[in-house]
Amino acid sequence: MLVDLQGPWSPLLGRLALSQIPYENPILAPLFVVVAIMGIAIIAALSYYGKWGYLWREWLTTVDHKKIGIMYIIIGLVMLFRGFMDGLMIRTQQAMAVGPDAAGYMGALHGYLTPYHFGQIYSAHGVIMILLAATPLLVGIMNVIVPIQVGARDMAYPYLNAVGLWITAAAAVLVMASLFVGDFSHNGWFGIAPIFELPYSPGVGVDYWMWVMQLAALGSTLGSINILATIVKMRAPGMTWLRLPIFTWASLATNIIALTSFPALTVALALIGFDRYLGTHFFTAGLGGNLMLYTDLFWLWGHPEVYFVILPAFGMLSEIIPTFSEKPLFGYVTMVLATFGIAGVSWAVWLHHFFTMGAGPDVISFFSVATMLVGIPTGVKVFNWAFTMYRGRLRFETPMLWSIGSLFLLLVGGLTGMMLAFPAINYMVHNSVFVIAHFHSMLLMIVYAIFGAVTYWWPKIFGFKLNEAWGKAVFWLFTAGTVGVFVPMYTLGFMGMTRRLDYVFNTQWQLLLDVQMLGIAFYSLSVLAFLGLLYVSIRDRAKSRVSHDAWGTTHSVEWMTPSPVPFYNFAVVPHINARDEWSWRKEHGFTDLRPDHYEDIHMPKNTGIPLILGVLTFLLGFGLTWRIWWLCALSLALIIAVVIIRSFDADTGYIIPADEVERMERAHHDRAQAAVELPQAGVPGGVTAYGQGNKPAAKGEVGAPGSGISSPEGSRA
């Protein structure tokens, strides 16, 4: 070996040993029992109801972008819950461990978490929330919506899509494994040089962190290539760039950022890997290493990543707000320009994460000004949303509530961001919980948009709406939690409380920390209410079935498809005539069209290979973490072999015959007709509200050759 490992190592098990299993830990051991019982219960239920075949055929081997998107969202929600539990533990520890007289439990001097354990919890909280909760949720929603919005039947690379999903799942499983086997990194989600070097962090925690990040980055890069290719190459005829739905524009900008910035992260992590596994000195303090170079490389990705997660959220707001204002989006072109403005500036602001490094005043000023520049396109967006709502017929249904909450958080987070962009202020509040409250405002803004988007597009994917009353209960409980936790946190930041304290020395902060506990209690209630929301909505789904246009005032292409969307999305590829195609069709009475004939559809075949690759990737990550070299070599060789074998498989698609398509379309049509009779589907003012803003395309484009659509006798829905 090239490096000095502390502790035992064996060729068979690497660094793995029984002592690495924390079976004596009073928190983890009971948790493991609970997880094991739940796992056994799920396996038993699947076997009892005979659902293994269904699970394998419909989900595990699927290449359908909608199902892959749903699985991304499920991973995201599960990891959001895990990250929330970490947050709950951080808050509880800080509220308990105030002042020298604070009692200690379970081996801790104060509170109930030892500093080492506390460090792992905040590190895991950050990694999970950003890379394994927010990112999969956003990627999942883009996966579901973007292909439908551009009028395509699937992603450009359906197989690659599934590979990206299962690699992300491998990263999620790896971070969960760190709970019960070994420990996790304690050097923050972004890593601090040189603490992550082997001599200072001799355990496997940093290795877990590094490979989890590396796998998540790989999954995101593959996903971004796919979405970019889909948007560039798979648009329906007639969908010119300026007719692209706004969420698709946001996804395009987002994935350009992802594709160009994730390599910086993978390089930074690979260099840590060289340091920890081969004994190089890229980020050590001596021998030519440079500590700040790591920070530089990390934030070179880290700041674009911030916009990678926020731009899709902006796109979601731009879809939801017009729908519930019953108006077209104000300033479509400026919205697109603002999106790309933010994406462009995202590349030139990363030093503001380490203003205190000690670079020269010119450098600091440059990055300060660049950071403030982000406010201009963001301001354009906020004004566009405000003007969209101005004199609109606002309906405060759940997605709209989440969107408006999101705007308030954007305002708070944005203004505190402007404050932090001033180097003078930044030097004062650097590393305080003020910064934490700021970026939580921004990330919660994203979470609000995600919840809004999930509620908004849920009926499109599943064919029924989520329960309004429960949805609103989740919103208000979650908002009470947000206010309760983060207003005191801003205050504590100004009072000088630094981040990541496992022991709070100042007893005057006790009251505000207790208020935060109240906030986290509201968050916990909102989690329960969310589960209640799912239960009630699924139970009452027969009563809330919807037809194509679930909200009555939607405007973009995805609402032209039946709800739930058939697996082939469009029986006949639509011809796009206007920017808000669905509004345009409603205006022209083309909502109830049937093509005069159907054609055969070519669809990708299901394949189990992505799942196999995901399992092998997890084994590779686990083997690398524990330095089990035979496992690494074996899984890597198998990955290469499986990829090669798959590449020789020429039979990856199948044809759905035209009459089969027609039969399925009729079934969808009948179901839609049945749903239309229900009161939920009809919304007053739905059609006329869209009469003005959309310029119809040149006459004669409807029913043009290739569109396959002809108009029946002008039946206005």
Partner 1 sequence: MSHDNPLQHPEVQVASGRGYLLTFLISTLLMGVSLLLVANHAMAPFGLMLVLSLCAGLAVIVQIYFLMHMDLSEAHIWNTVALVLTIPLFILAIGLTAWMFSTLYERTMVMLPTMHGMAGMVH
Per CB under 8 A, does 524 bind partner 1?
no
DSSP per position, 120-145: HHHHHHHHIIIIIIIHHHHHHHHHHH
Per CB under 8 A, does 428 bind partner 1?
no
What whole-number distance in Å separates Cα of residue 446 and Cα of residue 129?
11
What whole-number distance in Å separates Cα of residue 143 and Cα of residue 137?
10
121 or 227: whose CB is closer to partner 1?
227
Q: What does the buried/exposed string (b/e) look like for 300-313 if buried means 16 or more CB atoms within 10 Å of the residue's CB?
A: bbbbbbbbbbbbbb
Of the candidate spans 84-92, 350-358, 501-509, 614-622, the one that interacts with partner 1 by CB under 8 A turns out to be 350-358
Per CB under 8 A, does 605 bind partner 1?
no
Q: 633, 639, 627, 637: which is closest to 166 by C-alpha?
A: 639
The count of other CB atoms within 10 Å of the CB of residue 520 is 20
363 or 424: whose CB is closer to partner 1?
363
Centroid of chain to Cα 404: 20
What whole-number distance in Å separates Cα of residue 118 and Cα of residue 98?
15
Using CB under 8 A as the binding rule, the residues of this chain from 249 to 308 that contact partner 1 are 256, 260, 264, 287-288, 290, 292-293, 296, 300
Phi, psi for residue 63 in degrees, rounded to 5? -120, 10
- For residues 397 and 315, the answer to whether their CB atoms sit within 8 Å is no
Cβ of residue 188: shortest distance to partner 1, in angstroms? 21
Cβ of residue 357: shortest distance to partner 1, in angstroms? 6
Joined together, the tokens standing for residue 328 give 């077209």
Using CB under 8 A as the binding rule, the residues of this chain from 217 to 256 that contact partner 1 are 232, 256
Per CB under 8 A, does 602 bind partner 1?
yes
Per CB under 8 A, does 359 bind partner 1?
yes
Cβ of residue 301: shortest distance to partner 1, in angstroms? 10
10 or 356: whose CB is closer to partner 1?
356
Binding letters toward partner 1, positions 138-167, x by CB under 8 A: ---------------x--------------
Cβ of residue 259: shortest distance to partner 1, in angstroms? 9
Per CB under 8 A, does 601 bind partner 1?
yes
What whole-number distance in Å separates Cα of residue 379 and Cα of residue 392?
20
3-state secondary structure 561-625: CCCCCCCCCCCCCCCCCCCCHHHHHHHCCCCCCCCCCCCCEEEECCCCHHHHHHHHHHHHHHHHH
Q: Tell me the number of residues near partner 1 by CB under 8 A.
A: 25
Of the candidate spans 102-110, 187-195, 343-351, 630-638, the one that interacts with partner 1 by CB under 8 A turns out to be 343-351
28 or 348: whose CB is closer to partner 1?
348
157 or 184: whose CB is closer to partner 1?
157
Of the candidate spans 138-146, 195-203, 361-369, 627-635, the one that interacts with partner 1 by CB under 8 A turns out to be 361-369
Per CB under 8 A, does 342 bind partner 1?
no
β-bridge partners, 111: 104
Per CB under 8 A, does 360 bind partner 1?
yes
What SS3 class is residue 380? helix
264 or 613: whose CB is closer to partner 1?
264
Joined together, the tokens standing for residue 302 give 């880290």
β-bridge partners, 603: 654
Joined together, the tokens standing for residue 513 give 């920390």
Cβ of residue 255: shortest distance to partner 1, in angstroms? 12
Of the candidate spans 347-355, 512-520, 526-534, 636-644, the one that interacts with partner 1 by CB under 8 A turns out to be 347-355
In whole angstroms, how large is the CA radius of gyration of the chain? 26
59 or 340: whose CB is closer to partner 1?
340
Among 45, 363, 538, 667, the residue binding partner 1 under the rule CB under 8 A is: 363
Joined together, the tokens standing for residue 556 give 């973009």
- For residues 393 and 402, the answer to whether their CB atoms sit within 8 Å is no
Q: Tell me, what DSSP letter sits at residue 58?
A: I
Cβ of residue 271: shortest distance to partner 1, in angstroms? 14
The residue type found at 155 is: M
Q: Please give the residue ranges that form the binding site for partner 1 (CB under 8 A).
A: 153, 232, 256, 260, 264, 287-288, 290, 292-293, 296, 300, 347-348, 351, 357-360, 362-363, 366, 573, 601-602
